[in-house]
Amino acid sequence: MYADGKNVRDWLYVIDNCEGIDAVMHKGIPGEVYNIGGGNEVTNIDLTHAILDILGKDETSIEYVKDRPGHDKRYALDIAKAKELGWSPRHDFRSALKLTVEWYKKNEKWWRSLIKCRKDIKY
């Protein structure tokens, strides 16, 4: 966890992201910019606690590290133009987070194989 974990991000389920991209590709105006976001601004520490809750783990699993220089405190998106195309996220944050955690649990062999060569990641 970077620093105090109070950095805010907008979280979006992968299926909603793909559907948003598809809407822009098929209905958007070439050259225009469309932000695809979930409208789920959550701090990193709150997200971490939600994941730990799903996994049945406690705060002792969190490893805090020094924040990186120039790290943005908040990323925010205005998704109004994407919504004008008829798109909006369909999945609520909590349900989508649980689906995501369950996917990673069921596919551990696959994703672990992707990080074998990374000496900086502890698992």
Q: How high is the pLDDT of residue 99? A: 97
Residue 2 lies in a domain: no
Residue 109 lies in a domain: yes
Residue 41 lies in a domain: yes
- 114 compared with 47, residue with greater pLDDT: 47
The residue range of the domain holding 80 is: 8-115
Question: What is the average per-residue pLDDT within 21-43?
Answer: 96
Residue 20 lies in a domain: yes
Residue 97 lies in a domain: yes
For the chain, how far is it from start to end, CA to CA, in angstroms?
15
Residue 43 lies in a domain: yes
What's the CA gap between 84 and 34, in Å, rounded? 10
Which CATH number covers residue 63? 3.90.25.10
Q: How high is the pLDDT of residue 119? A: 64
Q: How high is the pLDDT of residue 113? A: 86
